[in-house]
Amino acid sequence: MSTTAKGWMMTEPGKALQERSFELPSAAPGEAIIEVAGCGLCHTDISFLHMGVKTRAPLPLVLGHEVSGYVREVGDGVDASLMNRPVVVPAVLPCGTCELCKAGHRTICKAQIMPGNDRHGGFATHVAVPARYLCPVGDDVLATHELWQLSVVADAVSTPFMSVRRSGLAAGELAIVVGAGGIGIYCVQCAAATGAKVIALDVSPAKLELARHYGAAAAIQVGGLSEKELKDQLKAEVKKLGAPSMRWKIFETSGTSAGQRTAFGLLNHGAYMAVVGFTMDKLEVRLSNLMAFDATLRGNWGCDPTLYPEIVQWVGQGKVKVAPLTRKFPLSEINAVVDKAHHGQLTERAVLVP
């Protein structure tokens, strides 16, 4: 039986989203129909709309890949116990059966599905998704959170979590988070939860104050600082914290060329730099620094969906806080919310609720 859904579709770059009704066929084998509880607005959605990034599926397309909701229908081969359960939908859904997936490289699965990019996404009443990696949410977590708030786990929390986990960051080490807003505030929390000493960098005093509140041991406002001045301030903070002077773990979460340039300029001996944010801008750097410092530069596309149950538990246990950092908006107000987000007028992560 098909489902009549309503969603807000991107029809042209730079144009307002349009509300349209569309039919979702009955759940295909291996898939599920999700009644959306909330869908977070991500910088990637803004990039599709206003920054020239192209979706893989043709327009018109319902955007949105940070989805939480209830399973309302399952196709053949899907565990029937998922029916009516609250779930978080991973932002990147690998096939689980190809050679890359079997080898543990699920984030680069060539058959992966990203809602709001490869097919209609979560800015709608319902969305159809592969069911293999849906992450059920337990009553213990829902006792302290509303399901719509957990939509941000799908990307804003899970992507920096994966980046921190990959880096091997450990207690006592130094983590530098470049860009404390957006996903950066979750990266600060994930890094701090490991017991590492975290220094946040940003141009915004307000974002740096928030970073301090959520786990940063120190914060530096980088606006107007030369590279030498920044390094001098960092070294002073590192000394005060008793943190290591080398082998820094640097997480670029701003998604700007300025942030990427800053992060790359902080490489030192044995350092590890993770590119977590995204920009279409190009950057000229001296790659030989990687050789000279025996340093590592790593990209980070989404999160391995097998990690989502642990991430949800971190949220439930308060290791990563999402409730104070999310704000609910009616889905009907999406164009106004997108405009505010595009112009940097939101302090919390916007979640659109049908």
pLDDT tens figures, 111-127 = 999 999 999 999 999 99
pLDDT, tens digit, 9 for 90 and up, residues 276-324: 999 889 999 999 999 999 999 999 999 999 999 999 999 999 999 999 9
9 in the same domain as 147: yes
* Residue that is last in its domain, among 299, 316, 339: 299
pLDDT of 1-55, one tens digit each?
788 999 999 999 999 999 999 999 999 999 999 999 999 999 999 999 999 999 9
Overall average pLDDT of the 255-279 stretch:
96
Q: φ and ψ at 331, to 5 degrees?
A: -55, -30
Residues 276 and 172 in one domain: yes
Residue 99 has a CB neighbour count (10 Å cut-off) of 9
Residues 283 and 328 in one domain: no
Among candidate residues 212, 210, 233, the one with its CA nearest the CA of residue 222 = 233
First to last CA, the chain: 22
Is pLDDT at 190 greater than 80 in this prediction? Answer: yes
Same domain, residue pair 192 and 133: no
| Whether residues 280 and 164 fall in one domain | yes
Q: How confident is the model at residue 267 (pLDDT cuts 50, 70, 90)?
A: very high
What's the pLDDT score for residue 164? Answer: 98
The pLDDT mean for the chain works out to 97
Are the C-beta atoms of residues 284 and 114 closer than 8 Å to each other? no
Residue 241, pLDDT score: 97
Query: Under a CB-based contact definition with an 8 Å cutoff, are residues 62 and 7 in contact?
Result: yes
Pair (191, 316) in one structural domain: no
The pLDDT value given to residue 133: 98
Judge if 8 and 150 occupy the same domain: yes
Enumerate residues 6+ apart whose C-beta is below 8 A from 328: 38, 148, 149, 351, 353
State the average pLDDT over residues 138-167. Answer: 98
Q: From residue 229, how far is each of 66, 213, 235, 299 by CA, in Å?
A: 38, 25, 10, 27
Closest CA to 36 of 81, 56, 6: 6
Strands 197-202 and 174-178: parallel
Residues 12, 83 share a domain: yes
pLDDT of residue 2: 85
Tell me which residue range forms the domain holding 125.
Answer: 3-154+303-353
Rounded to 5 degrees, φ, ψ at 16 are -60, 145
Contact by Cβ (8 Å): 249, 272: yes
Query: 344 pLDDT exceeds 90?
Result: no
65 touches 26 (CB < 8 A):
no
Whether 90 and 9 map to the same domain: the answer is yes
pLDDT value of residue 3: 86
Confidence label for 139 from pLDDT (cuts 50, 70 and 90): very high
Residue 229 has pLDDT above 80, yes or no: yes
Region 333-348 average pLDDT: 94
Q: Domain check: are 142 and 40 in the same one?
A: yes
Q: Assess whether 78 and 135 both reside in one domain.
A: yes
- Here the CATH number for the domain that contains residue 320 is 3.90.180.10
- Helix, strand, coil abundance in the chain, percent, nearest 5: 35, 25, 40
142 in the same domain as 35: yes
Q: CA–CA separation, 147 vs 135, rounded Å?
A: 12
CA-to-CA distance for 64 and 119, rounded, in angstroms? 10
Question: Quick one: average pLDDT of 146-162?
Answer: 98
**β-bridge mates for residue 20, sequence order:** 7
pLDDT for 52-93, tens place per residue? 999 999 999 999 999 999 999 999 999 999 999 999 999 999
| CA gap 143, 274 in Å, rounded | 34
Q: What is the CATH number of the domain that holds 255?
A: 3.40.50.720
The pLDDT of 234-252, averaged and rounded, is: 97
- Identity at 264, one-letter amino acid code: F
Neighbour order of strands in the sheet with 3-10? 18-24, 3-10, 61-62
Query: Which pair of structure tokens corresponds to residue 142?
Result: 């829902």
Closest CA to 220 of 248, 249, 199, 198: 199
**CA dihedral sign, ordered 154, 157, 160, 163:** negative
Domain count across the chain = 2
Determine what percent of the chain is predicted with pLDDT higher than 70: 100
Instruction: Answer with the one of 299, 322, 342 that is the final residue of a domain.
Output: 299
Per-residue pLDDT band for 347 (boundaries 50, 70, 90) equals confident
